[in-house]
Amino acid sequence: MAAEAEEDYDSEFVSVEDYPIDSKIGYYPGCVDYLDQEMVFSHLNEGSMNLGDSTTAAFTLFEEMGADVSYLGRDFLKCCGHDQKWQGLDEVFDKLKSYNQKKIEASGIDTLVSSCAECFRTFARDYELEGIKVMHTTEFLSESGFDMNLKTEEDVTITYHDPCRLGRQMGIYDEPRDLLTAVEGVELVEMEHSGEDAMCCGVSSMMSCNENARALRISRMEEIRSTGADMMITSCPKCVSHFECLKFEDEEEYDIEILDIVSFLARQVEAKKSQTEAIAPVPEFAQA
């Protein structure tokens, strides 16, 4: 990602004038989601995770809500620079920030939404986006009055993992939990360490993914297991990818389903739509 910070790469990105932006709300997918969708990262390993699902899921929710949101893809904006900043590559980060900031402000949007906790935190804290409200998807859904009258097909016990960037650094704890408990059939159980005390998934800037980071993931997975939950939900694709790493090691005791919250909610929306279609009356002319 550092290479694309250079001006030589600017021509690889679509200009504001040529990009289809027809809404005041823009959605940025983040690099993990983009790489999975465009480069099929998930399918290079033996895991079943689908990191690219969070963008598809987010737009499933936006569509059901009737929210008009424009996709600000990675063919329009560069990497937000989160990892570069936290790796100490300040010059690289500043170049990425300068490029993105100019394009975001020129896009005409007044709200920028992302499902990635790290991108959200970076745009909100490290950029100076004049007149633009930066929101995590869980915030956007909550403030927009998201209420799709959702219900799980079977009762499910869920535990929620607070991403470091979303929780401790941005103070967003209630919105994800409120969205989950609003789904009929969901029982939310907390881990020993949650909220401000939540443990890290192990890695932030995709560096130092070592035995110490693995030990953090194992400790957290043990807490997940102790809740008796059927599923662990979080609000950051990177957290999902890091926890999924243990599955690639054939650690059967950690074979619990892990999903991003937008993927979980979109799954219930799709199930509801399927049920509605299944019970819809057949027109008389179709029966003839």
Phi/psi of residue 113, each to 5°?
-115, 140
| Alpha carbon distance, N-terminus to C-terminus of the chain | 60
Specify the DSSP element, H or E, that contains 104: helix 90-106
The verdict on 213 and 251 lying in the same domain is yes
The verdict on 104 and 175 lying in the same domain is no
Rounded mean pLDDT of 232-251? Answer: 82
Rounded mean pLDDT of 256-274? Answer: 94
CATH code, domain carrying 265: 3.40.50
What pLDDT, in 10s, does the model give residues 186-239? 999 999 999 999 998 887 655 567 778 888 888 999 999 999 999 999 999 888
* Domain coverage including residue 26: 17-143
The verdict on 128 and 35 lying in the same domain is yes
Unique residue bearing structure tokens 């029966």: 287
Residue 179 lies inside a defined structural domain of this protein: yes
Number of independent structural domains in the chain: 2
The verdict on 110 and 224 lying in the same domain is no
pTM exceeding the 0.85 threshold for the entire prediction: yes
DSSP characters for 5-65? GSGGGGGGS--TTTS---SSEEEE--HHHHHHHHH--GGGSS----TTHHHHHHHHHHHHH
User: What pLDDT shows up at residue 242?
Assistant: 82
The verdict on 204 and 139 lying in the same domain is no
User: What pLDDT shows up at residue 42?
Assistant: 47
Task: Indicate the residue among 96, 121, 143 that finishes a domain.
Answer: 143
Specify the DSSP element, H or E, that contains 218: helix 211-227
Rounded mean pLDDT of 119-126? Answer: 97
Phi/psi of residue 235, each to 5°?
-125, 40
3-class DSSP string for 170-208: CCCCHHHHHHHHCCEEEEECCCCCCHHHCCCCCCCCCCC
